[in-house]
Amino acid sequence: EIEEIFRRFHDIEPEPKGELNSVNEFTFLVAVVLSAQATDMGVNRATSALFKAVDTPEKMLALGEEGLRDYIKSIGLYRAKARNVIALSKILVEKHGGKVPGEREALEALPGVGRKTANVVLNIVFGEPTIAVDTPGKSPYDVEKGLLKAIPEKYLRHAHHWLILHGRYVCKARRPECWRCHMADICQFREKSPAPV
């Protein structure tokens, strides 16, 4: 069943894309940091003007924390996020030549970057087969390990996006749209929601 689910995901959308807007690796990292406890849509609204003005860690440092806050004040926790983005920009310039590092340890050492954010960056920017998890379980890491073990290797590269997009638009927590789900015939959820009349 797992193999079949991911085969269908692949058939429907072979190259799924994330919904955070960015112009390069640095702005993608910033967008992911800003997206914690915020919607992609809200982050995109705030960053559309920001990323036209600022697309490198050097420019971010020149903008400064106060200047950054003015761009992102519509996003939750914007003060702490502005502080983190300025601090991570400083580290990128001082330790990484202004580039986003492709190693987990270096990413997780950046302010505002935890395992989930690092996984998203490693997956999207560097093509690694990672899965970003913030779902409750014994721990998000245990959930991540379980998913990595269960998902067939050939589908790992895009599994993260397929699952996110499916949960965001079809298999929604409050009102799953079972009538338009490509997995409905093999889904074990018993209370399938009917199509609206």
Query: Catalytic positions, please?
Result: 116, 134
Amino acid at position 131, single letter: I
Contact yes or no for 92/57 (Cβ under 8 A):
yes
Residue closest to 32 by CA, chosen among 145, 103, 120: 120
Distance of CA 133 to the CA centre of its chain: 9
Contact yes or no for 1/186 (Cβ under 8 A):
yes
> What does DSSP assign to residue 170?
T
Rounded distance between C-alpha atoms, residue 171 and residue 160, angstroms: 15
Rounded distance between C-alpha atoms, residue 27 and residue 142, angstroms: 29
In 3-state terms, what secondary structure has residue 84?
helix
Rounded distance between C-alpha atoms, residue 101 and residue 117, angstroms: 13
Rounded distance between C-alpha atoms, residue 95 and residue 105, angstroms: 13
Token pair of 31 as six digits: 């967008």
